[in-house]
């Protein structure tokens, strides 16, 4: 079938302002939006620029705003989008656009790196593995699934209006360790998140949870971190 794809194009080497361009492409209903972008790039306009790698929703490269909602282009099928109407594709919001659908990911990764997203332990290393019950392992399973795609953070109205806010992903990244029974860095991590730009900025709008392509309950994770801060225990 023929589908119209309207893409927000921007190349500061050539123009000052972003502009919409519409392309007509022939697709199968089971094709992904990523296939549509590839068809434009490979058959019509090689200058169209976007990031992608795995093409099946595991590397986190291609979060973009598709029909006004943050999704992975490689995990969104044409048939699920009402292909009768034009499909709109634009970069995720709140991070500087560098070219077409490519945004500057550095502020996003900086936020992640700032929450100490690594196991903190003290004392002697055991000779074998640390023992952890499957129940304790399950406690933080949800937040281990994160692929750092930024769909959540860039769907958050607080993040859009306040450039300093860590954003939901960083809290997810911290949650993964705060609730890991092997970890001993909780105090420090909670201190970081207690900061004025930390978890308290979240207004629980659930945009992040809706946006997450991995089905992580982002808002719930944030709530759990808030509760941990109030009661100072996990």
x-or-dash string of contact with ligand SF4, 166-185, rule CB under 6 A: ---x--x-------------
The smaller minimum CB distance to another protein, of residues 99 and 201, is found at: 99
Asked if 69 touches another protein (CB under 8 A), the answer is: no
Out of ligand SF4, ligand FES, another protein, none, what residue 179 binds, judged by CB under 5 to 8 A for its kind, is none
**38 in contact with ligand SF4 (CB under 6 A):** no
- Decide: is 214 part of the binding site for ligand SF4 (CB under 6 A): yes
List binders of another protein among 161-220 (CB under 8 A). 177, 180, 182-183
C-alpha 179 chain-centroid distance: 21
Residues in the chain: 234
187 binds, among ligand FES, ligand SF4, another protein, none (CB under 5 to 8 A by kind): none
Task: Tell whether residue 219 is a contact of ligand SF4 (CB under 6 A).
Answer: no
**Residue span 108-137 as binding mask against another protein, x where in contact by CB under 8 A, dash where not:** -x---x--xxxx-x---xx-xxxxxxx-xx
Among 33, 115, 171, 212, binds ligand SF4 (CB under 6 A): 212
Of 191, 201, 141, the residue nearest 167 (C-alpha)? 201
């Amino acid at each position: 079938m023929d589908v119209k794809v309207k893409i927000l194009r921007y190349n500061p080497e050539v123009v000052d302002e972003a502009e919409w361009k519409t392309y007509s492409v022939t697709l199968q209903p089971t094709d992904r939006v990523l296939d549509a972008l590839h068809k434009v790039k490979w058959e019509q306009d090689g200058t169209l620029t976007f990031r992608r790698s795995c093409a099946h929703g595991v590397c986190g490269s291609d979060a973009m705003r598709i029909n006004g909602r943050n999704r992975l282009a490689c995990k969104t099928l044409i048939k699920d989008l009402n292909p009768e109407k034009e499909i709109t594709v634009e970069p995720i919001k709140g991070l500087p656009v560098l070219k077409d659908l490519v945004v500057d990911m550095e502020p996003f990764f900086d936020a992640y790196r700032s929450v100490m997203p690594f196991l903190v332990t003290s004392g002697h290393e055991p000779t074998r593995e640390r023992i952890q019950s499957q129940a304790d392992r399950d406690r933080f399973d949800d937040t281990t699934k994160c692929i750092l795609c930024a769909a959540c953070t860039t769907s958050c109205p607080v993040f859009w209006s306040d450039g300093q806010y860590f954003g939901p992903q960083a809290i997810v990244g911290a949650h993964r360790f705060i609730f890991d029974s092997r970890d001993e860095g909780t105090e420090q991590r909670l201190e970081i998140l207690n900061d004025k730009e930390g978890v308290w900025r979240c207004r629980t709008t659930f945009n992040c949870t809706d946006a997450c392509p991995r089905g992580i309950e982002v808002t719930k994770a944030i709530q759990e971190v808030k509760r941990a801060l109030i009661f100072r225990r996990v």
